[in-house]
Amino acid sequence: MFERFTKDARFAVVGAQEIAIEAHSGQIDSRHLLVALAEEDGPARSALTDSGLDVAELVRQARANINAGDALDPAALAAVGIDLDEVTRRTEATFGEGALARAGRILRGRRKHIPFTRDAKKSLELALREAIRLGSKEIDGGHLLLGLTRAESPARSVLSGAGADIEQVRNLAEGKSAAA
């Protein structure tokens, strides 16, 4: 299927992986794809902008949502008897300031492949179906956005939370992809 992706759609998939790496995510979900689409010029970003969304704010909210889901929760750790501040203090006392951050970079550097979640895979499959429905031989960023908004997903929830009119976004994405 990837061979049918246009340049902007390929950039979105690669961008989603880079976003996952930056966020220390163990998997790529639909939110990572949404951020990648919103950050790059193409039919998806145009549809989001034309719908009246503040794309920079959408990206900020989506990245915050991604980070909130993947961050260590000091309160949850404290509930099971782990004091994250104390762990950090002792680690830095033994191995030097920033030791945990350096260890994270080393471990992340060894990872060769970040898997897609079920919702991200489903969104990519739905993008293919949208391209076929619209009579396109290629899958572009607009088709990916249509896939992200077709079914319930974390990306669709982020869009709704940012005030997007999902049907308007879909109509605009469809128009941008049909014109391509």
DSSP assigned state of 117: P
DSSP output for 47-58: HHHHTT--HHHH
68 pLDDT more than 60: yes
Is residue 158 helix, strand or coil?
helix
Instruction: Judge whether residue 2 has pLDDT over 90.
Output: no
The half-sphere exposure of 50 on its side-chain side, counting CA atoms within 13 A, is 18
Q: Which of 69, 76, 59, 74 is nearest to 23 (CA)?
A: 69
Question: What does the pLDDT read at residue 111?
Answer: 52
Would the pLDDT of 104 be above 80? no
- Average pLDDT, integer, range 85-92: 79
Rounded to two decimals, what is the model's pTM?
0.77
- Which amino acid does the sequence have at 35? V
Task: Give the pLDDT confidence score for residue 180 in this predicted structure.
Answer: 59
What is the rounded CA–CA span in Å between residue 67 and residue 46? 25
Q: Are 129 and 122 in contact (CB under 8 A)?
A: no
CA distance 119 to 19: 17
Class of domain 2-70+114-179: mainly alpha
Q: Is 5 helix (H, G, I), strand (E, B) or coil?
A: strand
Residue 162 banded pLDDT, cuts 50, 70, 90: very high
CB 6 within 8 A of CB 139: yes
Distance separating alpha carbons of residues 136 and 4, to the nearest angstrom = 10
DSSP structure class, residue 42: S
Q: Can you tell me the distance from the alpha carbon of 145 to that of 29, in angstroms, rounded to the nearest whole number?
A: 13
Q: What mean pLDDT is reported for the chain?
A: 86
Among 14-28, 73-87, 134-148, 161-175, the minimum mean pLDDT is found in: 73-87
Instruction: Give the model confidence (pLDDT) of 31-67 as tens digits.
Output: 999 999 999 999 999 999 999 999 999 999 999 989 8
Domain boundaries, given as residue ranges, for the chain = 2-70+114-179, 74-110
Give 106's pLDDT tier (boundaries 50, 70, 90).
very low
CB 32 within 8 A of CB 16: yes
